[in-house]
């Protein structure tokens, strides 16, 4: 419908016509300015490629994850803290993606532990809803990173069209941000994967596939940084990082445990929170760890399968199952793995 400079030229002619006819009321000039702005902005938004966080597949099994504070090694300082902004935005988008069980960051978890300690001190009301010690969800995966470079060219923008003292369109400058991301196994402390991403302010914001919510629409949680180019570059870097983290999940083993065996029924310690659904099948067996005698490090593990189970009922943190093979051989404490992953 709109065709670049040809359309812009027609708008310029439209504005000149107003001038020649002497129609200089504020309302008419406002309409003309908005008309020109629409002409310049629409083509940009239409040609921009949309970045989408993929929707979790049916039966996706989730891992608990937490984001630590990002180090600002770039030395960039503005109206907001770039390290805090990265942590906040990534925690937000990981939660919105639906791929993970997202836990509060270290500061929030410390605040929760302080509240638990206060409740246990005897100085707080002792009702059944008080914060209890020993109930916090551990993180299986940790995300940390460093912001290594920030380029902010906000003040170097130019271009656009000027008419009677009004300037519309043109570049307001751009910003770029280099970020190194690490995915860490909380059990071993080992880095499972790492990557470098470059966020740019000119790219379109990421969209969460499963319900169409855009990261840009979530920016109220980020504070004032979203309004500047560095904030937009940060959002782009976060979107790329979350896609990278999702791509690593196939390489990370998912495991649960049998916590009760009663007749023909078993209960495992994974439920709807982890993505377990009715009809899902798991293998059950005993696991032997191969330990390095010199360092005590677990080098690998070997599973001896004794049977398989199918989920018949789920709750938030547990699932009820029935054996499909190996009935009578399964016992409390045995490990549970996805049957077809």
Residue 331: what pLDDT?
A: 93
Mean pLDDT over 248-269 rounds to 92
325 has which bridge partners? 308
Phi, psi angle pair for 278, to nearest 5°: -60, 135
Residue 186: what pLDDT?
A: 86
Percentage of the chain modeled with pLDDT above 90 = 40
Nearest one of 54, 55, 58 to 280, comparing CA atoms: 58
The residue ranking higher by pLDDT, 303 or 333, is 333
Mean pLDDT over 136-140 rounds to 76
Handedness of CA 93, 96, 102, 103 (dihedral sign): positive
Rg, Å, the chain Cα set: 27
Question: Given a cut of 80, is residue 278 above it in pLDDT?
Answer: yes
Question: Given a cut of 70, is residue 119 above it in pLDDT?
Answer: no
Percentage of the chain modeled with pLDDT above 70 = 65
Residue 160: what pLDDT?
A: 47
Residue 129: what pLDDT?
A: 62
Residue 152: what pLDDT?
A: 85
Q: What is the pTM of this model?
A: 0.69
Question: Given a cut of 70, is residue 11 above it in pLDDT?
Answer: no
**Contact (CB, 8 A) for 208 and 215:** yes
Lowest mean pLDDT among 2-16, 185-199, 309-323: 2-16
Question: Given a cut of 70, is residue 59 above it in pLDDT?
Answer: yes
Give the separation between CA 266 and CA 323, rounded to whole angstroms: 8
Residue 161: what pLDDT?
A: 45
Question: Given a cut of 80, is residue 162 above it in pLDDT?
Answer: no
Give the separation between CA 198 and CA 12, rounded to whole angstroms: 37
Phi, psi angle pair for 205, to nearest 5°: -65, 155
**Contact (CB, 8 A) for 95 and 218:** no
* Paired tokens of 68: 């630590």
* Paired tokens of 206: 């990421």
* Paired tokens of 298: 């677990």
Find the DSSP H helices in the chain: 4-21, 26-47, 82-97, 106-120, 229-247
* Paired tokens of 15: 């504005």
Residue 38: what pLDDT?
A: 45
| Residue ranges of E strands in 186-264 | 191-200, 206-208, 256-262
Give the separation between CA 71 and CA 82, rounded to whole angstroms: 9
Chain mean pLDDT for the chain: 76
Question: Given a cut of 60, is residue 165 above it in pLDDT?
Answer: no
Question: Given a cut of 70, is residue 217 above it in pLDDT?
Answer: no
143 has which bridge partners? 67, 183
Confidence bin at 277 (pLDDT 50/70/90): very high
Residue 23: what pLDDT?
A: 47
Give the separation between CA 130 and CA 127, rounded to whole angstroms: 6
Give the separation between CA 115 and CA 133, rounded to whole angstroms: 9
Mean pLDDT over 133-148 rounds to 82
Give the separation between CA 322 and CA 164, rounded to whole angstroms: 78
């Amino acid at each position: 419908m709109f065709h670049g400079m040809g359309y812009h030229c027609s708008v310029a002619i439209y504005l000149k016509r107003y001038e020649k006819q002497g129609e200089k009321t504020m309302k008419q000039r406002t309409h003309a300015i908005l008309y020109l702005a629409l002409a310049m902005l629409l083509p940009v938004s239409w040609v921009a490629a949309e970045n989408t966080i993929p929707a979790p597949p049916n039966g996706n099994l989730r891992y608990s994850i937490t984001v630590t504070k990002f180090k600002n090694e770039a030395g960039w300082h503005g109206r907001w803290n770039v390290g805090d902004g990265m942590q906040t935005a990534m925690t937000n988008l990981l939660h919105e993606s639906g791929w993970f069980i997202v836990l509060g960051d270290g500061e929030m978890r410390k605040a929760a532990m302080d509240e638990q300690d206060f409740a246990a001190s005897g100085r707080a009301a002792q009702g059944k809803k008080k914060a209890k010690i020993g109930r916090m969800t551990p993180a299986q995966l940790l995300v940390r990173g460093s912001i290594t470079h920030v380029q902010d060219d906000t003040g170097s923008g130019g271009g656009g069209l000027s008419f009677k003292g009004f300037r519309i369109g043109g570049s307001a400058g751009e910003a770029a941000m280099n970020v190194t991301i690490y995915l860490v196994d909380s059990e071993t402390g080992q880095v499972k994967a790492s990557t470098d991403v470059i966020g740019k302010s000119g790219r379109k914001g990421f969209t969460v596939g499963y319900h169409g919510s855009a990261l840009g629409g979530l920016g109220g949680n980020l504070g004032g940084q979203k309004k500047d180019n560095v904030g937009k570059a940060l959002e782009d870097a976060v979107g790329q990082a979350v896609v990278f983290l999702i791509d690593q999940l196939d390489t990370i083993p998912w495991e649960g445990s049998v916590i009760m065996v009663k007749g023909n029924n078993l209960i495992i310690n994974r439920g709807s929170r982890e993505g377990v659904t009715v009809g899902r099948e798991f293998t059950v067996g005993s696991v032997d760890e191969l330990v390095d005698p010199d360092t005590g490090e677990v080098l690998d593990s070997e599973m001896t399968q004794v049977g398989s189970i199918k989920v018949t009922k789920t709750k938030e943190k547990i699932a009820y199952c029935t054996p499909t093979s190996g009935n009578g051989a399964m016992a409390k404490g045995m490990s549970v793995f996805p049957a077809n992953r």
